[in-house]
Amino acid sequence: MKRIVLKILFSIILISSYLYSSAQIEDIKKSSKENKSNKSSNSSSSSSSSSSDDFAAGCMADMCGGCFNAGAAVFFAVIVENHQSMMNLLDSDPTVLSFEARANFAVGLHYSKNKTYTYVNYLPGIRGNLGAFSTDFRFNILTEYTDDFPNSFTSWEWLFLFNIEPIETFKLSFGTGVQAERFSDSYFNEHYIGFKFGLANNNDYIDLDTRFSMDYSTGAFPFFEAGAHYKKRIAEFESVFMHITLGGVYQNYYQSNDIWALQGGIIINVH
């Protein structure tokens, strides 16, 4: 099984070395420029009515303040109980308290009427896990190669997640954070939800997750991603697990560019 997985990963690397296309990424950059322009226009038009809006918001805050305080107390109690429950799983699932480094990449296709465009997407990332809480940082470097020259659309994402693990073979993670799009120097709120299903005595697992960002001032969705991955443990040491990952991922930029990709990589978990 390990040989088959390694052969598939090696094939992905070879494919990514030889597939090149013309610059379809320019369309994504154009959409990014248009969204930033719309955001500037909306900001200037909304400034004139800000005083009345501020008054309404103040009244609403006074009405809801008591309810919020009561709800926050209940939510905090649930968080503490869930965190203690997850820390009790340390003996059976040491990754509950761990640091994870990911070296992932994907070869993607975007179908159009005239041509099929090919991308290489570099997705390195890290994650820290502390019981019910995690923080995840990732680069998303979508790249085309035209005449051996790379054209990239780059962003980074930083998420703060809450974990629920009722049993050692299942975990739900959800949360929110920020996506920083480097081309337009824009920042968006990004949301995340993921499911982990343990297999083979919890040595291997299937990961399903989705993440999307929103621009509340324009109503745009700058980024959407959904993926499914099988993660096979290939090495185990006293405090280190090493997995190889294979799967598929779908990405969409500004609700116009659909990209389907085959993803692979290496994951190292230190616990």
CB 42 within 8 A of CB 218: yes
Average pLDDT over residues 3-30: 52
Stronger pLDDT, 268 or 35, i.e. the higher one: 268
Distance separating alpha carbons of residues 203 and 188, to the nearest angstrom: 36
Q: Print burial letters for 25-64: b (CB count within 10 Å at least 16), e (below 16).
A: bebbeebbeebbeebeeeeeeeeeeeeeeeeeeeeeeeee
Candidates 247, 264, 238; CA nearest to 94 is 238
pLDDT above 60: residue 159: yes
Q: What is the pLDDT of residues 214-239, one digit of tens each?
A: 999 888 899 999 999 999 999 999 89
CATH class (in words) of the domain with range 2-270: mainly beta
β-bridge partners, 108: 119, 261
Mean pLDDT computed over every residue of the chain: 81
| Share of residues in the chain with pLDDT > 70 (%) | 76
Look-up: residue for tokens 């509950």? 96
Backbone angles phi, psi at 41, to 5 degrees: -65, -45
CB 6 within 8 A of CB 243: no
pLDDT at 4: 45
Q: What is the pLDDT of residues 30-85, one digit of tens each?
A: 888 888 887 777 765 555 444 444 544 444 444 455 555 666 677 677 777 888 88
For the chain, the structural domain boundaries read 2-270
CB 259 within 8 A of CB 230: no
Q: What is the pLDDT of residues 93-119, one digit of tens each?
A: 888 999 999 999 999 877 666 666 788
Average pLDDT over residues 188-193: 97
